[in-house]
Amino acid sequence: MIALLVRDLRLAVRAGGGFGLGLAFFLIVTVLVPFAVGPEGETLARIAPGILWVGALLACLLSLDRIFQLDFEDGSLDLLATAPLPMEGAVVVKALAHWLTTGLPLTLAAPVFGILMNMQAPGHWWIFVTLLIGTPALSMIGAFGAALTVGLKRGGLLLSLLVLPLYVPTLIFGAEAATRGGAGMAVTTPILMLAGITAGVVAFLPFAAAAAIRINIR
């Protein structure tokens, strides 16, 4: 499992175009928003948690098709399927690798990008916390979507159509918690719900994703 994780991380970092791209995309989205809505600090500060969450979500979406597609094309997915490691485990490891290369950098960058959005003091902390709790769910749900579309020639657009509706609950609770935290209100309920979604998703979706991969490579 660790060997697979190291291999995936190495591929993501060295193959180019995967690792930094999501982060750059996130930065561009954050930069574009003030051009669209105007530079007034108050407006930006009010929408900052939502924009950062949507930006992180889209940046995450960008690299999803890489989770299984390359391995499917060069045949290593078939090898993984016959390996002693159960497919469920492989899915978890691949989702974890995706999170380490996409979700975690996004989480670390979000408070910094918050400055661009005129975010005020406790806001940075809360966007960091909510993304830290929420992005594993985004990676896992994305891995499920990638597993569904892995055999398809032009799966990219379909992948977004499948995955984005599944992101709705995570986005709602994550952005709500970030907004409330920034405004100094009670955050327990949305944070707990967000953590619950992440825990549930990590517990159950590997089985669905593994089933989808087995169907796709049979």
What residue ranges bind other proteins (CB under 8 A)?
144, 148-149, 151-152, 154-155, 158, 161-162, 164-166, 168-169, 172-173, 176, 189-190, 193, 197, 205, 208, 211-212, 215-216
Q: How far is the CB of 126 from other proteins (least distance, A)?
A: 17
Name the residue with tokens 């990638």.
146
CB nearer other proteins, residue 131 or residue 163: 163
CB nearer other proteins, residue 86 or residue 169: 169
CB nearer other proteins, residue 121 or residue 168: 168
Q: How far is the CB of 209 from other proteins (least distance, A)?
A: 9
Q: How far is the CB of 141 from other proteins (least distance, A)?
A: 8
H-type alpha helices, the chain: 2-14, 19-37, 41-62, 69-74, 76-82, 87-98, 104-116, 121-148, 155-182, 188-217
Q: Side chain identity at 204, as an amino acid letter? A: F
CB nearer other proteins, residue 131 or residue 141: 141
CB nearer other proteins, residue 8 or residue 176: 176
Q: How far is the CB of 20 from other proteins (least distance, A)?
A: 30
d(CA 44, CA 3): 44
Name the residue with tokens 């379909």.
158
Contact 166, 195 (CB under 8 A): no
CB nearer other proteins, residue 109 or residue 127: 127
Task: Name the nearest CA neighbour of 124 among 84, 58, 181.
Answer: 181
Q: How far is the CB of 212 from other proteins (least distance, A)?
A: 5
Phi, psi of 115 (to 5 degrees): -60, -40
Task: Name the nearest CA neighbour of 101 among 54, 130, 142, 158.
Answer: 142
Q: How far is the CB of 146 from other proteins (least distance, A)?
A: 12
